[in-house]
């Protein structure tokens, strides 16, 4: 059996001291070995052992058990014994593990399709309680792997879409679009993507091709909507013009392009990367409003303010 028969999970999504309805595997030296069998449970000893060992979180479940795992996560999300904070962690960790795999698959249409339940789960969690968006946002920004960043951008975009009054179907499409907005970065060489420090002029030129690369990737698949393509192709355009690749402005830019421009920049500014100190939410928003305000749709920027201020108020009360 190859590792393609398995999908990645995070152990933080597994409830301790409960019989497992699926087997969990571990990858060691390139081999998949059984870690916990169905019917066994995660115990203190196992948890302590893992914490001491820092295994890099490469745990897997067999593809045959994908639905069982999804139902298991869903039952955690519906449990009244689990706090909203814990639920936000479970939702985030289960989604990101799936995204790690989806971001590597060449079949983008399948990836978009399989990402749908992630967005549906996010939306139902956000609908569930007014403070849920705050629970989710409090977990964003710890590191800058593409899938974490894209997931965080989706959370902010969905929050923004809700405040802007988008209906559920539009929100689902917005969530998908936000997850895959940077898909064109697949075609940018890793040494440029991961370079620490300033890029040369040629490297910047290459980096700025990613919206066009993304559009080409999406165009190669049938049934991908124009809105998903617009978020990918137009998220580096500027409200007052001067962005790339088309240098369009204002309402010429698709709303999804305008939303992702804002949420992508905000998340990048507030996220810890190896070479920067992250800004606090208000510092980032003030900078966006004062120094680079021309980049963003002013109504959307105000809506973003309202989400973050509401969150601060909820957390204070």
Whole-number minimum distance, CB 264 to Fe ion, in Å?
Answer: 6
Q: Are 180 and 232 in contact (CB under 8 A)?
A: yes
Whole-number minimum distance, CB 9 to Fe ion, in Å?
Answer: 28
| CA nearest neighbour of 75 among 64, 87, 59 | 87
Quick one: angle between helices 255-270 and 146-163, nearest 10? 130
Residues that bind Fe ion (CB under 5 A): 182
Cis amide leading into 245 (omega within 30): yes
Q: Are 35 and 25 in contact (CB under 8 A)?
A: yes
90-105 burial: b if 16+ Cβ within 10 Å, else e: bbbbbbbbbbbbbbee
* CB closer to Fe ion, 152 vs 182: 182
Residues 6+ apart with CB under 8 A from 103: 111, 146, 147, 150
Cis amide leading into 9 (omega within 30): no
* CB closer to Fe ion, 126 vs 218: 218
Residues 33, 59: Cα–Cα separation, whole Å:
10
* CB closer to Fe ion, 182 vs 234: 182
* CB closer to Fe ion, 173 vs 182: 182
* CB closer to Fe ion, 44 vs 191: 191
Whole-number minimum distance, CB 261 to Fe ion, in Å?
Answer: 9
Whole-number minimum distance, CB 260 to Fe ion, in Å?
Answer: 8
Nearest residue to Fe ion, using CB?
Answer: 182
* CB closer to Fe ion, 87 vs 185: 185
Residue with tokens 């593409």: 146
Whole-number minimum distance, CB 177 to Fe ion, in Å?
Answer: 12
Whole-number minimum distance, CB 197 to Fe ion, in Å?
Answer: 19
């Amino acid at each position: 059996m190859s590792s393609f028969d398995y999908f990645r999970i995070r152990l933080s999504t597994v409830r301790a001291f409960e019989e497992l309805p699926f087997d969990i595997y571990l990858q060691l030296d390139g081999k998949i070995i059984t870690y916990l069998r169905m019917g066994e449970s995660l115990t203190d000893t196992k948890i302590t052992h893992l914490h001491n060992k820092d295994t890099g979180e490469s745990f897997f479940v067999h593809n045959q058990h994908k639905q069982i795992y999804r139902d298991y996560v869903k039952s955690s999300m519906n449990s009244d014994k689990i706090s909203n904070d814990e639920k936000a962690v479970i939702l985030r960790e289960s989604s990101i593990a799936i995204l790690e795999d989806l971001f590597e698959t060449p079949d983008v249409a399948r990836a978009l399709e399989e990402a749908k339940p992630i967005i549906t789960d996010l939306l139902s969690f956000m609908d569930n309680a007014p403070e849920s968006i705050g629970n989710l946002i409090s977990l964003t920004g710890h590191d800058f792997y593409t899938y974490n960043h894209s997931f965080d951008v989706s959370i902010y975009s969905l929050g923004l879409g809700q405040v802007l009054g988008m209906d559920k179907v539009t929100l689902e499409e917005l969530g998908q679009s936000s997850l895959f907005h940077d898909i064109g970065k697949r075609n940018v060489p890793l040494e440029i993507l991961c370079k620490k420090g300033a890029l040369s002029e040629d490297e910047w030129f290459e980096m700025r091709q990613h919206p066009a690369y993304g559009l080409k990737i999406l165009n190669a698949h049938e049934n991908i909507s124009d809105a998903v393509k617009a978020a990918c192709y137009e998220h580096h355009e500027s409200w007052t013009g001067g962005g790339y690749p088309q240098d369009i402005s204002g309402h010429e830019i698709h709303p999804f392009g305008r939303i992702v421009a804002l949420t992508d920049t905000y998340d990048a500014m507030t996220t810890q990367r190896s070479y920067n100190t992250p800004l606090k939410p208000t510092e980032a928003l003030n900078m966006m409003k004062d120094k680079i305000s021309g980049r963003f749709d002013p109504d959307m920027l105000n809506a973003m303010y309202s989400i973050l201020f509401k969150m601060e108020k909820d957390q204070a009360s």
